[in-house]
Amino acid sequence: MEGAAEGEHQRKQGDDNSGKPVIASGFHSFIPPGFFAFGSKENIDAHQGCQESHRHQDELDYQFPFSQKIQPGPGMHQCKDPVKDETSVIHGECEAIAGEEMDEGPFGEWTGYYASSMRPEPIMKVKRLYHRNNPIILGAPPTRPPCEFNYMRCFMRSALIWQQMEAAGIPDIQGVWCHEAGGARLLTIVSIKQRYPGHAKQAGMVAAYCHACGYLGRYVIVVDDDIDVTNTNDVLWALTTRSNPEIDIEMIRRSWSGPLDPIIPKGQKGHSSRAIIDACRPYEWMSEFPPVAESSPEVRRAAEEKWGKILDS
């Protein structure tokens, strides 16, 4: 069926011969009206581990080997060796029948909470299963951060945001880090070398609303290039000493959110707010800002060479 669901958020096992695709509208894909028309059966190809990018989504979910997708199947009789021409590790030929559903949830999410209630979801009945020799299936259950599930996404989403900021024309980006405490989405830190008035605010806005960071974000903190974005103490020091809440925090309402946002009440899901915090030295009097009380890199290196054996023991 053309134009049907072509990506899924989660896939759960039902019994030995069935599974449940959990499809998040606007995030991965959709089921259009009429997909299950008049009690019909629809064939579905289910891939585990596909590496191809998806035309509707950011590359995070479809270019890496722990991804999964579903797409309309060509029919059981047309598939002889579907894995041969795919990058997927496991390929299932499934059948979805209108009206056949199974209770799904609750499921622990990347936010660290059981964010979804129990509700009925369509069933995919597995008709055939193909797999590569010695397939490697990566599993990392999302739990309260920090956890392995979030760590792997921190690195990839940080790289995607950096790439998309540069593509938008933001100069002199020195670092991007999606902090693990925010599940790789809710807290993003960007380091820049300030080049002009408004540079920090521009970087924060673009970071907050580029595609890789647009869904269910919360805070973006922009810091100077002397701050290590992966060092929480560095970031908090810049936040507390280089930002004035009255003028350096921008609040933006009605931003893209979703059903997993734990702070948004039921019935109001879909929108949330953003805070973009400028934690850089004020550009207009940057040269007059108090100097940092620390040893220079040269002095630190000399001390390490002279006293390193004692300090490391």
- Would you please indicate which residues are annotated as catalytic (active-site) residues? 109
The rounded distance, in Å, linking the Cα atoms of 131 and 10 is 19
Q: Where does 105-172 show beta strands of DSSP type E?
A: 119-131
Q: What single string gives the DSSP state of each residue in 16-83?
A: TTEEEEE--BTTTB---TTTTGGG-EEEEEEEES--PPPTTS-GGGTSSTT-EEEEE---GGG-S-GG
Give residue for tokens 């998040």: 24
Q: Is there a cis peptide before residue 106, judged by omega within 30 degrees of 0?
A: yes
Answer whether 143's CB lies under 8 Å from 290's CB. Answer: no
Answer whether 190's CB lies under 8 Å from 223's CB. Answer: yes
How much helix, strand and coil, in percent to the nearest 5, is found in the chain? 30, 30, 45
β-pairing verdict for 173-178 and 41-48? unpaired
Task: Give the 3-state secondary structure of residue 102.
Answer: strand
